[in-house]
Structure 1
Amino acid sequence: MTDLLTDTFGRRHTYLRISLTERCNLRCRYCMPAGGVPLRPREEILTFEEIERLARLFVRAGVEKIRLTGGEPLVRTGMEALVEALGALPGLRTLALTTNGLLLPKKLPRLHAAGVNLLNISLDTLRPERFDHITRRQGLALVLHAIDLAIAYGYDPVKVNCVVMRGFNDDELADFVALTETKPIEVRFIEYMPFAGNGWQDARFMPYRDMLARLGERFPVLERLDDGPNATAKTYRVPGFRGRIGFITSMSEHFCDGCNRLRLTADGNLKVCLFGRAEVSLRDALRAGATDDELGAIIRAAVRRKKAAHAGMHTLAKAENRPMILIGG
């Protein structure tokens, strides 16, 4: 299984993102249609036992980091028990969670004890009325409380994911950076990406170079930091600030050549590229009685079909793909 996760371009995949559910307690405009999305029947979603078996297989093959996503992963009943099982996997170095934060205060004590050692909390605005508009729900105060609680539990940094849209929330960039002055936060500004049903418009797209220019009006000096070979973010710090900022430049300056990520959807499909249509069902193979070696062969074949890079923003805007909510953030 030594070459199970290496593609034909020499990229070794050590990072697996697992979606626990297609359900979410928010309705963010850039993520899903206003009416939500058709949800699969419960029996089509991976069980915790199936997730644990696949995770164990991936870790044995070389995955060192697992991130739990959704939908909103915290809405899945009993997910804490799964986290405890994953946290005990030998060889797993990082167990991460991406959440909108609404349910985090109630669940964080057990998640922290189970081994979740990296937190990303999604937040696209610091203004209550705008939060209500973007998410079609209320709850900004709860999210801000979740961030402070994560800091109190020792997460450093707490990563705050902010999808930036021109004319929508780009006037808050400097306000987000100001959060990093005294708090151990890494604000990650994410370029708006086209997905089915999210109303993507070219006019709303704001490349990171434009974000940098906007920030330069208030913070004329931004210190560039070193990023790892598989980093998705270009990171900076305002000199003297405790935290930092990052830019996820998936559209304007992709980082496909260093991609080490695979995705497992809630219904058990393996996606080797966030933006690719190609998927293969590990769930069906599992339920047909596949051995670990047979599952490994399916995974190896999928990884070796991974392309060098995604097709580009304007092509992706016209291509068919799942809505982001059904892929896993």
Structure 2
Amino acid sequence: MSQLQDSFGRKFHYLRMSVTDVCNFKCSYCLPDGYHPNGKPQFLSLNEIENLVSAFSQVGTQKIRITGGEPTLRKDFTDIIRVVANNPHIHTIATTTNGYRLEKHAKEWFDAGLRRINVSVDSLDPKMFYQITGENKFDAVMRGIDAALSAGFERVKINAVLLKGLNDKDLPRFLHWIKHTPIDLRFIELMETGLGREYFQAHHLAGADIKAQLLADGWQFDAPSASDGPAQNFSHSDYKGRIGLIMPYANNFCATCNRLRVSAKGKLHLCLFTESGVDLRDLLQHPDQQAELIERLHGQLAQKKETHYLHQGITGGDPTSCLYWWLGRICSP
């Protein structure tokens, strides 16, 4: 089978697969009022996930990130990991989590085949952590990170959304933490969404400003490899950890796009920012539908646009439409 490729020559080997929309945190930039289901949710079943993974593996997908909502809230989360790990063509299995269940289950998930994990920690100040997330779980999340490091994961990354007037004073704490801890710290620039302009204007902090500060303090830009995503990574000889910046307003941000997204209800999203998607679920019921499913994937890639057009002020009408795809905490596809 030929690899998924769009009309701009970009090849797609990375799938972000959501398995639930449910989240138990109430982050101010994502779900300040908490998750509210619209009727009884019908998320992808284990069998549908297996057929989805099989089809993508035949067209070049080598990395799958299991996301949500909060993916670990699914009772069969470990079984989902095993399904992905049992596919010989998938070389990297990752997840993004708020860390709520990490302390108890890190070793179990590692043994099932999970190898990389991103934990969302927006502040190292417990009070600010509570203010941003709406949950007083800072100590539990930090114990979970320690458990992940002890379990032997290939890579542990920390996601933090940059928020002016909130966690922007945390940078020295974060730097002190990674001086002796071998983790990758990812700062994600806040993006404006259609219904979040007031929040964006109050709390947006340009990633370019953080980059300038890092370079001035002796951090070195790491040349990207062919498999890297859009993050700009930096290292320092005095630090065990690294820093990555995800800056969607940077020039050519979309030039290295290598990932697609499937929602928890089986919709393919060609861009992490777009609200629209094409349904795949009708072709996920039986393995004998694989050829038709793959044909649909190739047909959709021909329609992928060159960029997300953020610079033209196109922000989408759904406040969960972009930033939360990155974090794996989207509440509505």
Q: Distance in 2 between matches of 1:130 and 1:274?
A: 28
TM-score (norm 1): 0.91
Instruction: Look up the equivalent residue of 1:326 and give its one-letter code.
Output: I
Match of 1:326 in 2: 330
Q: Distance in 2 between matches of 1:60 and 1:250?
A: 30
CA RMSD in angstroms comes to 2.3
Instruction: Look up the equivalent residue of 1:50 and give its one-letter code.
Output: E
Aligned-pair CA distance for 1:185 = 0.8
Stretches of structure 1 that go unaligned for 5 or more consecutive residues are none
Q: Distance in 2 between matches of 1:321 and 1:2?
A: 36
**8 A contact 2:25–2:31 mirrored in 1:** no
Counterparts in 2 of 1:211 and 1:84: CA distance versus 1, 3 Å: same
Counterparts in 2 of 1:243 and 1:105: CA distance versus 1, 3 Å: same
1:161 to 154, 159, 162: 159
Instruction: Look up the equivalent residue of 1:186 and give its one-letter code.
Output: D
Secondary structure at the aligned position of 2:179 is classed as: coil
Aligned-pair CA distance for 1:251 = 2.4
The aligned runs of 1:148-297 (5 Å cut-off) are 148-195=146-193, 200-215=199-214, 220-229=217-226, 230-287=228-285, 291-297=289-295
Instruction: Look up the equivalent residue of 2:111 and give its one-letter code.
Output: A
Instruction: Look up the equivalent residue of 1:223 and give its one-letter code.
Output: Q
Instruction: Look up the equivalent residue of 2:16 and give its one-letter code.
Output: R
2:125 to 113, 127, 138: 127
Match of 2:18 in 1: 19
Aligned length: 325
Instruction: Look up the equivalent residue of 1:122 and give its one-letter code.
Output: S
72-81 vs 204-213, greater mean Cα deviation? 204-213
Instruction: Look up the equivalent residue of 2:2 and give its one-letter code.
Output: T
Residue identity over aligned pairs, in percent, reads: 33
Instruction: Please list the CA deviations of residues 139-183 of structure 1 after superposition, one character each: whole Å capped at 9, or x if unmatched.
Output: 000111111111112235410001001112111112112211111
Aligned-pair CA distance for 1:196 = 5.7
Instruction: Look up the equivalent residue of 1:284 and give its one-letter code.
Output: D
**8 A contact 2:92–2:115 mirrored in 1:** yes
Q: Distance in 1 between matches of 2:81 and 2:135?
A: 27
Counterparts in 2 of 1:214 and 1:226: CA distance versus 1, 3 Å: closer
Instruction: Look up the equivalent residue of 2:259 and give its one-letter code.
Output: R
TM-score (norm 2): 0.90
**8 A contact 2:186–2:246 mirrored in 1:** yes
**8 A contact 1:96–1:116 mirrored in 2:** yes
Secondary structure at the aligned position of 2:284 is classed as: helix
Counterparts in 2 of 1:89 and 1:196: CA distance versus 1, 3 Å: farther
Q: Distance in 1 between matches of 2:39 and 2:85?
A: 28
Secondary structure at the aligned position of 2:274 is classed as: coil
Secondary structure at the aligned position of 1:316 is classed as: coil
Match of 1:74 in 2: 72
257-266 vs 313-322, greater mean Cα deviation? 313-322
State yes or no: 1:10 paired with 2:9: yes
310-319 vs 241-250, greater mean Cα deviation? 310-319
Instruction: Look up the equivalent residue of 1:235 and give its one-letter code.
Output: N
